[in-house]
Structure 1
Amino acid sequence: MTGYHLAHFNAARLRAPLDDPATAGFVAGLDPINALADRSPGFVWRLAEGPAGDATTVRPTEPDVIVTLSVWESLEALRAFTYHSEHLDYLRQRRDWFVPLGYRASMVLWWVPAGTIPSPEEGVARLRLLGANGPGPDAFTFRSPFPAPEAARDAARPAPLPARPA
């Protein structure tokens, strides 16, 4: 366990407004998927603003782009929620509700000191950093992860020498 948590930011361009029948399946899944995240092992926090208690009213980039922002104890915890829970079925339907964003990346991960709550604006900045520079320690993806800063520091530290026999 490190003194860092994993921040996750995702942006998606809506195919139609949230009150349109074309996005009804997405809207219907918001509460169950958010509840699943909230009770998942390793979950720390998620952006939940507006009357519905989700992030659909937060639009830090464009009016038709919605975002998610969450914090997890580890990459493994977020990966388990994303790809090894009911969330995966929801994720597989994303093309029904969203069109290509037009950015080089639509999801970004980065490490934050434990107890830190990132802002949507920071998520946008990290997404742009990833798009401009590719994966690095300050903005990365599931496919190209980077260790938490303490883990990276510890990995670079040489192993202690074994004690000499007496």
Structure 2
Amino acid sequence: MPHLALYTFSVLKSPLADPTPLTCEFYDIGEAVYRKISQHPGYLAHAEAADGSRGAHFDLDWGAWGEFAVPTWYGKGRTVETIALAATLSLWTDLRPAFDAIYTGLHRDALNRRYDWFERTAHPNYVFWWVSDGVIPTWQEGVSRLEHLHDHGSTPHAFTFQHSFAPDGTPPRIKGIGPTSDQVR
């Protein structure tokens, strides 16, 4: 059975190393959100550094998730002191569990504050695509799908909640998800 891959990418207003309270708050909330999301039904896994270390995303060993990559429009730093991005790569069983995890609880609270931390851009900040069972998506694939979404809009190759697709390429029949959903921005 196929699994749903999700790549998210946002540019922070200031580097992760910035000691301001707002940056520290984002970092603390991010850790709590990850813990909560990882317990959600339908969540399968997310990209983590192979040795559990922290640092500049670009320097870490991501194991099967591949080399860390970012969209072409990211123009900020790539070192521990200058990196100003938030990116995730995860696997889900289906659209409904991902939707429920993202638009409820602690993650919903964080989404409501996203513009406190992230720059507003004309680029999409997340993308979904289906992968075969047993396949681990890579960072580069996530970037490629996000850039495809930006250039071509939602297609079965790269899509959003609002314009989503089932594994067979047809629109899903899930209440509250898809073109009729008023819960998605």
Same fold flag (TM > 0.5): yes
What is the RMSD of the two structures over their aligned residues, measured on CA atoms? 2.1
Residue 99 of structure 2 aligns with which residue? 79
Distance in 1 separating the partners of 2:37 and 2:4: 14
Residue 120 of structure 1 aligns with which residue? 139
Distance in 2 separating the partners of 1:98 and 1:56: 18
Between Structure 1 and Structure 2, which shows a larger proportion of helix residues? 1
Return 5+ residue gaps in structure 2 as ranges.
Answer: 59-67, 78-83, 174-185
Residue 131 of structure 1 aligns with which residue? 150
Q: What is the TM-score normalised by the length of structure 1?
A: 0.81
Distance in 1 separating the partners of 2:105 and 2:125: 21
Q: What is the TM-score normalised by the length of structure 2?
A: 0.73
Q: Which has the larger radius of gyration?
A: 1
Render the CA deviation track for 1:72-104: whole Å, top value 9, x for unaligned: 00000000100122210011111111102452x
Do 2:15 and 2:85's aligned partners in 1 also have CA atoms closer than 8 Å? no
Within-5 A mapping of 1:44-83 = 44-49=44-49, 51-52=53-54, 57-58=57-58, 60-61=69-70, 62=74, 63=77, 64-83=84-103
Please tell me the residue identity of whatever aligns with 2:108. L
Give secondary structure in 1 for the equivalent of 2:108: helix
Return 5+ residue gaps in structure 1 as ranges.
Answer: 156-166
Between Structure 1 and Structure 2, which shows a larger proportion of strand residues? 1
* Cα shift at 1:23: 1.1
Within-5 A mapping of 1:8-157 = 8-20=6-18, 21=20, 22-49=22-49, 51-52=53-54, 57-58=57-58, 60-61=69-70, 62=74, 63=77, 64-103=84-123, 105-149=124-168, 152=170
